[in-house]
Amino acid sequence: MRTTVGIIGAGPAGLLLARLLRNAGIDSVVLESRDRGYVEQRQRAGILEQGTADVLRAAGAGERLDREGLRHDGIELRYDRKRHRVDFPALTGGRSVTVYAQTEVCKDLIALQLKEGGPLLFEAEALAVEGADTDHPHVRFRHDGREGVLDCAYVVGCDGFWGVSRTAIPAELTRGFERVYPFGWLGVLADVPPSHDELVYARHDRGFALLSMRSPVVSRLYLQVPEGTDAEAWSDEEIWAELERRFETDDDWTLERGPITQKSVTPMRSYVHEPMRHGRLFLAGDAAHIVPPTGAKGLNLAVGDVVTFARALVHERETGSAELLDAYSQTCLRRVWQAERFSYDMTTLLHRVPGASPFEERLQLARLERIASSRAAETDLAEGYTGFPFG
């Protein structure tokens, strides 16, 4: 098999890239190791920055997003039983975010790709990327029990944190920057209307909690739990009781309970792999960087990377100049490090860190008070949350 761009992974990064290239008249093949149902059901992100929603619309993938996505103009910070709302449009010159689940973004892009795009092979596992630093890179893969080779002009590794693309870059040319946090998130889906119309980020002495949503009738909730926690060790009753405690306020706000339909634990990690390019191999999304979910940045970063790659390749086709492709890693990493900083700040602002001293806990509250009382501090949060510019 031969194509211009070989894409490994059909998460948001790989699927959107295939769509952007198809719209620019550039052919691609997507290899995805899991089956379609798995990719469409995997519960993950829920928040799209305005720039991400705009890219999906411009790519022709915005129809259901515009119908079912929920525009959010703010979030609530909760600490010391108090509530503080951050008003995004007022602080950022009109920017907002959209609640539209990653599962839905993937479903929309898969349907478009199968109808209008090039090959998208499920249960096709990339085994290795070879010849990245030659003019003939190729991907060895296994599909239907047989091994095959995909010859490409470029390979884009969109295969997530556990994929194979990153390992094709010789270790002596790379540097990894990592921080693993000593806690995770227990996430649940519940069939109950969200108890607040905007997301609530709560800092509590017992740990962080987040109230989010998937639709007007489905809530998504998270609890900070110790690293290595087994989701099944928490009964539904224990989960609701703990959420109630962490969200408690001095007013009459109450948390509505409902049947829990899914629960899982996510570890928390910050990671950046430099550079994001080696010869004709480009890394995009979680394959190159991970952020803790507190800042809601992972999917949005993945979108920024593939937009940058698609623009660079179109530029090369139109002008013959590889300057944007050569600048890919640098261009992406500028935005990546801003998102890493923001996600780290949000994580350390809101989580209970095991072993933190009383002094550090007071500082955490002082940072929250600062955001609640200073327009400058609040604007910094609002700008970070609604997103850093692409490219």
Tell me the two tokens of residue 8: 């490994």
Q: Which of residues 235-274 bind ligand RFL (CB under 6 A)?
A: 266
Q: Which is nearer to ligand PHB, 113 or 294 (CB)?
A: 294
Q: Any contact of residue 46 with ligand PHB (CB under 6 A)?
A: yes
Q: What is the smallest separation between the CB atom of 58 and ligand PHB, expressed in angstroms?
A: 24
Is the four-CA dihedral 362, 363, 365, 369 of positive or negative sign? positive
Site for ligand PHB in 284-323 (CB under 6 A): 293-294, 296
Tokens at residue 240, please?
């609701």
Q: Quick one: 91 or 339, whose CB is closer to ligand RFL?
A: 339
Please identify the residue of the shown chain whose CB is closest to the bound ligand PHB. 46
Binding part of the chain for ligand PHB, among 42-50, 147-155, 161-169, 360-368 by CB under 6 A, reads 42-50
* Six-digit token string for 354: 């095991």
Which two three-digit tokens encode residue 147?
């091994």
Active-site residue set? 72, 201, 293, 297, 385
Region from 31-39, 176-184, 247-255, 364-372 binding ligand RFL, contact rule CB under 6 A: 31-39
Q: Is 5 in the site for ligand RFL (CB under 6 A)?
A: no
**Which residues 274-333 are close enough to bind ligand RFL by CB under 6 A?**
285-286, 293, 296-300, 302
Q: Which does 129 bind (CB under 5 to 8 A by kind): ligand RFL, ligand PHB, none?
A: none
Question: Rounded to the nearest 5°, which phi and psi values hold at 347?
Answer: -65, -45
Instruction: Verify binding: residue 52, ligand PHB, rule CB under 6 A.
Output: no
220 binds ligand PHB (CB under 6 A): yes
Q: State in angstroms the smallest separation of the CB of 272 from ligand PHB.
A: 19
CB 192 within 8 A of CB 199: no
Q: Which of 39, 47, 106, 287 binds ligand PHB (CB under 6 A)?
A: 47
- End-to-end alpha carbon distance in the chain: 32
**Taking CB under 6 A as the rule, does residue 11 contact ligand RFL?**
yes
- In Å, the largest CA–CA distance within the chain is 65
Tokens of 317: 């086709």
Residue indicated by tokens 């790659």 = 309
CB of 261 vs ligand RFL, minimal distance in Å? 15
Residue closer to ligand PHB, measured from CB, 48 or 325: 48
Tell me which residues in 135-174 interact with ligand RFL (CB under 6 A).
158-160, 163-164
Among 195, 212, 270, 300, contact with ligand PHB (rule: CB under 6 A):
212
- Nearer of residues 91 and 291 to ligand RFL, judged by Cβ: 291
Tokens of 302: 């993945």
- The tokens describing 140, both together, are 């060895």
| Residue 125 token pair | 């596992």
Residue with tokens 């944190």: 161
CB of 39 to ligand RFL, least distance (A): 5
Q: Which residue stretch of 18-26, 43-51, 316-324, 354-362 sits at the interface with ligand PHB (rule: CB under 6 A)?
A: 43-51
Nearer to ligand PHB, 9 or 46 (CB): 46
CB of 3 to ligand PHB, least distance (A): 34
> Please, which residues bridge with residue 149 across strands?
140
Residue 294 binding: pick among ligand RFL, ligand PHB, none (C-beta 5-8 Å cut-off by kind): ligand PHB
Select from 5, 26, 47, 283 the one that contacts ligand RFL (CB under 6 A). 47
Residues that bind ligand RFL (CB under 6 A): 8-14, 31-34, 39, 44-47, 102, 125-126, 158-160, 163-164, 185, 187, 266, 285-286, 293, 296-300, 302
Residues that bind ligand PHB (CB under 6 A): 45-47, 199, 212, 220, 293-294, 296
